[in-house]
Amino acid sequence: MNLSIANISAQQLRRAASVRDRIDALQRELNRLLGTTAGNGAAAPGKRKLSRAAIARIRAGAKARWAKAKGRAGGAKGARKPKRRMSAAGRARLSALARARWKQAKAQGKATL
């Protein structure tokens, strides 16, 4: 039954309100008899308590996964790779190439590459 509020008469509206009040009163009485609090009557679920053994297993598994991901079994750090340096000849070759690029750009009348 799909009724719009505009199509409901005042008498029907009063009857609906009284039915609703009776439903609320019966719900309160039922809650009082059963000893439940107000609301939908469903108790909120509690937090699960894990045993110490279960927590230890979870911790050991997480530690093993991290060790595998980091690629080492112990706590020793791997040797650091030396910093790569460019030789003087390599630096000279790159600057000669850059000078040649700029020379060509200036010959074409460009201010930027």
Amino acid identity at 78: G
Q: Which domain holds residue 12?
A: 7-34
- Is 66 inside any structural domain? no
Alpha-helix residue ranges (DSSP H) falling in 71-87: none
Instruction: Kindly state the DSSP code that residue 113 receives in the 8-state scheme.
Output: -
Q: For residue 12, how many other CB atoms are within 10 A of its CB?
A: 11
How many domains is the chain partitioned into structurally?
1
94 vs 13: which has the higher pLDDT? 94
- Is 39 inside any structural domain? no
- Is 20 inside any structural domain? yes
pLDDT digits (tens, 9 = 90+) for 17-65: 999 999 999 999 998 898 876 555 566 778 889 999 999 999 999 999 9
- Is 71 inside any structural domain? no
pLDDT of residue 38: 56
- Is 17 inside any structural domain? yes
- Is 79 inside any structural domain? no
> Measured between alpha carbons, how far is 65 from 60 in angstroms, rounded to an integer?
9
Residue appearing with tokens 């074409």: 108
Q: What is the dihedral of CA 98, 101, 107, 113, to 10 degrees?
A: -100
- Is 97 inside any structural domain? no
pLDDT digits (tens, 9 = 90+) for 72-102: 655 556 678 888 899 999 999 999 999 999 9
Q: Which residues contact 105 (CB under 8 A, 6 or more apart)?
A: 112, 113
